[in-house]
Structure formats: structure tokens, C-alpha cells
């Protein structure tokens, strides 16, 4: 078969080059423009990377037009229904579902690493009590670099595996401690008899004076939330992890940078923003007013939990999470007026030409907050839960990048639109 190419012509010089058209196993073809600058002297311009594939990856596939999400080829719906978060972690990291023995070894490994260095605990005391838990996560996860020197050689596969297990294991402990610190309660050590999600709930809600029995329905819902957030190919936080890692920085520092990128309301911060928005809307009768505001070009207000860069159809994760939210609220016999507002908002927006034309549908964050609220997780911890879920994705993407022989430091170029050369003027003459 003839090699597929795309011809790029610079009409100002009449020069053109043929660049290879690469085909993955699925998804649109990709023009390999790596030689564009050396051969034609031009860069490409793509703010927000809307048409740019930044790497080759075997981990996650998304078809945004058809609402498809698969990890290592497995549909997320099947994983959410039949798998567990730890099994998904193994799948993302190693590429295949584990055998019984492989899973048991992995589970024990993660459990083995669930405690954090006692010295790392003193970091929490340096934060203000009212610090946002995401701020604490950024600091403490980055500080892990200062404690686990025996796994920092990124070119050693054993070190990389050890770091990956440590990060997945310790994230829940660090997250729960950031909550405990803000509550002024003592830290609770992990209990490795519990599952990953149960252990997190135990560290969040146990106190020395009272035993906490994790409710299996809640633990299962949380485990599914983790699965649904586990990876999402080259999103902002994952790209941040890869870019930081491309300079050969250690994995703890890279994951910390991913947490930073996740924090914003346009990304992982949206789950917190959705509940705050629903509280502000206050009652279903106010929904039309807010929908109008979201459409108004003179207003900066957006419907949080709506829209997605890639999904131009219903976010497949939102469908699953909406059902889990219903089940959890029913099980716990919780009736929240916010759910009524959310359902009304969804109904109005999905029938409004503005949202239809722009293909804006609820995303994963629209309903996840209801589950988290029902569990008793405070609003400012919502994005931390997203970070816990996304951790295996970040670390798997980082591992894939380091193992890639073509890997080099990420270094985008720019379209410079600043001042041309000019001479310095002495201050007295300005």
C-alpha cells in the first residue's frame, strides 16, 4: 500500500512538503509534522491543542463523537460494572487484566505501601488549618520526592514500578490526612484488611473514640467513581504530568504538577463548582434564569459540569455516574433539593438550541458531587477524590512516556506577537 501523506504548501514561497499520515488502531489519522520547521521553516499554531496529538499512547481511547471511553481496549462501562479500582490500576499500569495471582501480589503490594513516612506527616502542620486540601496535596505529594530516594532513578524499571505502587498506595492516605488536618482530628493509620475504597473511607471518617464501619454501598460507589476517573488520555493534568516528566523530573514531582493542573474549575475543580452552582441557583424555578445567563455572551457564567473538549455527545461516564448517584441517594434515603435542580437544569439545557448546537452535555462532574455529598465528603475534598481516581492514569502515562525510545523533552514553540527589537531608554528619558 502506498504510504499515505498530506501535502503542506507555503503559498508565500511556493514550497511544499509531503508529511506522513500516521494511522493508529482507532481514531482519526495524524499528520506527522515533525519535519515541518526544518524543511519548510514554519511552525503550526494550535492554542489549546484542539488538533494536536502530543504523543503515541496505548492506554486510553476516546471517541468523543460517539461517547466512547476505553482503558486498554476495555469499555469503561464494563470495567465500572465488573471490575474494581485496583484491578483497573493494574490494567492501566501493565496493559493487561491481571491473573488471580498477579492481582493478589499487586493488591498486597499496594496495601504494603499504604502508610506514609512519619516525617512526611509533619508537613501537614505547616499548612494553615483552612488550607484547601488540593493545596496540601500539591505540597505533600511533591514532598514525597524528599523521602523515597530509593525509587527516584527514572531509568531503572524497578524504581519506576516501586514509585508507581507507592504513589497509588499513599495518595489515599495523604488525601485523608489533608481532610483530618483541616478538621483538627488525629490522623488515622490505614487498615490493610480493608479494600482500597474502604480504607480511604476508614482514614477519612474513623476517629480514635469511635469505630467507623464502611457501608458497602458507599464503598462500591466510591470505587466506581475512582474507576470512571482513572484515565482520560491527554487531558490538561495528564499532559502536565507528561510535560514535567519529559524533563526527567522524578515521578512524585510530576504527579504533584498534575494535581496542580487538575485543580482549576475548567478541569477537576468542576465537581466542587457544580454543587456550589446548584446551591446558588437555590430552587428549580430559578433554573431558566441561570440557563439564560450561561448563554449570555456578556456574562462569564457557565453551567458547571456541562461541556467537554472531547465529548460532543453525552459523556459516557456521566451516564454511569448519574445512575450510581440515584442508587446511593436511595440506599441512604437522602432527598436533596439540589438533585431536583440538577435534573431540571439538565432537562432545560438538553432541549435548548444553544446547548444542542454547541454539543454541550453533562460531563462526569455533573452528578459525581451528589454521591460525594451523600458519603459525607466536604465540598473542598471533591477535587481531591478526582485526583485519587486519576492517579493510576497519571502514573501509567508517565511510565509509558519514560519507556518510549523516541521520548524527548517537551518544548512547544510560539507565535511571537510582542514588540520587535527596540533600544533601551534611560529611565530619566522615559
Tell me the residue nearest to ligand ACO as measured from the CB.
Answer: 307
For residue 68, the cross-strand partners are 63
Give the nearest distance from C-beta 426 to ligand ACO in angstroms.
45
User: Can you tell me which of 151, 240, 363, 396 binds ligand ACO, judged by CB under 6 A?
Assistant: 363
User: Can you tell me which of 244, 270, 320, 339 binds ligand ACO, judged by CB under 6 A?
Assistant: 270
Residues 134 and 182 sit within 8 Å (Cβ to Cβ) = no
Asked if 296 is an active-site residue, the reply is no
* Residue 267 interacting with ligand ACO (CB under 6 A): yes
* Residue 72 interacting with ligand ACO (CB under 6 A): no
Total residues binding ligand ACO (CB under 6 A): 19
Give the nearest distance from C-beta 317 to ligand ACO in angstroms.
8
Size of the chain, expressed as the number of residues it contains? 430
Distances (CA, A) of 178 to 97, 138, 151, 387: 32, 11, 24, 13
3-state secondary structure of 235: coil
From the list 202-210, 261-269, 334-342, 400-408, the region that binds ligand ACO by CB under 6 A is 261-269
Q: Cell numbers at residue 75, please? A: 469499555
Rounded to an integer, what distance in angstroms lies between the CA atom of residue 378 and that of residue 274?
A: 13
Rounded to an integer, what distance in angstroms lies between the CA atom of residue 297 and that of residue 302?
A: 10
Q: What angle do CA 178, 184, 188 make, to 5 degrees?
A: 60
* Residue 134 interacting with ligand ACO (CB under 6 A): no
Return the closest-CA partner of residue 404 out of 38, 168, 155, 96: 155
* Residue 309 interacting with ligand ACO (CB under 6 A): yes
From the list 23-31, 68-76, 358-366, 405-413, the region that binds ligand ACO by CB under 6 A is 358-366
Q: Exactly one of 308, 327, 335, 352 is catalytic; name it.
A: 308
Rounded to an integer, what distance in angstroms lies between the CA atom of residue 344 and that of residue 2?
A: 54
* Residue 323 interacting with ligand ACO (CB under 6 A): no
User: Can you tell me which of 266, 279, 334, 403 binds ligand ACO, judged by CB under 6 A?
Assistant: 266
Asked if 365 is an active-site residue, the reply is yes
* Residue 302 interacting with ligand ACO (CB under 6 A): yes
Question: In the chain, what is the straight-line distance between the N-terminal and C-terminal CA atoms, in Å?
Answer: 66
Contacts to ligand ACO by CB under 6 A: 48, 266-268, 270, 294, 302-309, 358, 360, 363-365
Active site residues: 308, 365
Amino acid at each position: 500500500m502506498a504510504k499515505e501523506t498530506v501535502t503542506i504548501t507555503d503559498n508565500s514561497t511556493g514550497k511544499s512538503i509531503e508529511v506522513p499520515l500516521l494511522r493508529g488502531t482507532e481514531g482519526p489519522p495524524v499528520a506527522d509534522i515533525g519535519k515541518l520547521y526544518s524543511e519548510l521553516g514554519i511552525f503550526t499554531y494550535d492554542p489549546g491543542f484542539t488538533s494536536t496529538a502530543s504523543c503515541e499512547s496505548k492506554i486510553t481511547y476516546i471517541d468523543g463523537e460517539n461517547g466512547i471511553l476505553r482503558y486498554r481496549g476495555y469499555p469503561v462501562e464494563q470495567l465500572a460494572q465488573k471490575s474494581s479500582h485496583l484491578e483497573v490500576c493494574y490494567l492501566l499500569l501493565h496493559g493487561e487484566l491481571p491473573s488471580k495471582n498477579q492481582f493478589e501480589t499487586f493488591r498486597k503490594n499496594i496495601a504494603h505501601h499504604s502508610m506514609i513516612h512519619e516525617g512526611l506527616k509533619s508537613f501537614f502542620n505547616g499548612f494553615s488549618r483552612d488550607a484547601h486540601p488540593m493545596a496540601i496535596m500539591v505540597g505533600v505529594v511533591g514532598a514525597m520526592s524528599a523521602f523515597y530516594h530509593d525509587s527516584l532513578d527514572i531509568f531503572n524499571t524497578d524504581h519506576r514500578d516501586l514509585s508507581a505502587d507507592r504513589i497509588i498506595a499513599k495518595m489515599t492516605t495523604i488525601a485523608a490526612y489533608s481532610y483530618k488536618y483541616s478538621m483538627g482530628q488525629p490522623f488515622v493509620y490505614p487498615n490493610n484488611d480493608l479494600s482500597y475504597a474502604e480504607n480511604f473511607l476508614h482514614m477519612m471518617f474513623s476517629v480514635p473514640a469511635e469505630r467507623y464501619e464502611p457501608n458497602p454501598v458507599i464503598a462500591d460507589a466510591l470505587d466506581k467513581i475512582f474507576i470512571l476517573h482513572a484515565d482520560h488520555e491527554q487531558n490538561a493534568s495528564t499532559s502536565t504530568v507528561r510535560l514535567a516528566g519529559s524533563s526527567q523530573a522524578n515521578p512524585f514531582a510530576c504527579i504533584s504538577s498534575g494535581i496542580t493542573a487538575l485543580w482549576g474549575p475548567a478541569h477537576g475543580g468542576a465537581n466542587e463548582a457544580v454543587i456550589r452552582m446548584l446551591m446558588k441557583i437555590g430552587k428549580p424555578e430559578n433554573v431558566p434564569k441561570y440557563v439564560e445567563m450561561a448563554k449570555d455572551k456578556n456574562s462569564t457564567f457557565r453551567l458547571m459540569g456541562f461541556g467537554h473538549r472531547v465529548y460532543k455527545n453525552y459523556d459516557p461516564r456521566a451516564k454511569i455516574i448519574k445512575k450510581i448517584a440515584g442508587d446511593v441517594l436511595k440506599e441512604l434515603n437522602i432527598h436533596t433539593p439540589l438533585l431536583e435542580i440538577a435534573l431540571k437544569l439538565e432537562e432545560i439545557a438538553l432541549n435548548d438550541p444553544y446547548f444542542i448546537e454547541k454539543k454541550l452535555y453533562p460531563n462526569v462532574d455533573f452528578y459525581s458531587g451528589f454521591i460525594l455529598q451523600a458519603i459525607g465528603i466536604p465540598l473542598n475534598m471533591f477535587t481531591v477524590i478526582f485526583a485519587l481516581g486519576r492517579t493510576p492514569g497519571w502514573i501509567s502515562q508517565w511510565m509509558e512516556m519514560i519507556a518510549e525510545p523516541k521520548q524527548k523533552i517537551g518544548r512547544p514553540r510560539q507565535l511571537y506577537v510582542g514588540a520587535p527589537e527596540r533600544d533601551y531608554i534611560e529611565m530619566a528619558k522615559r
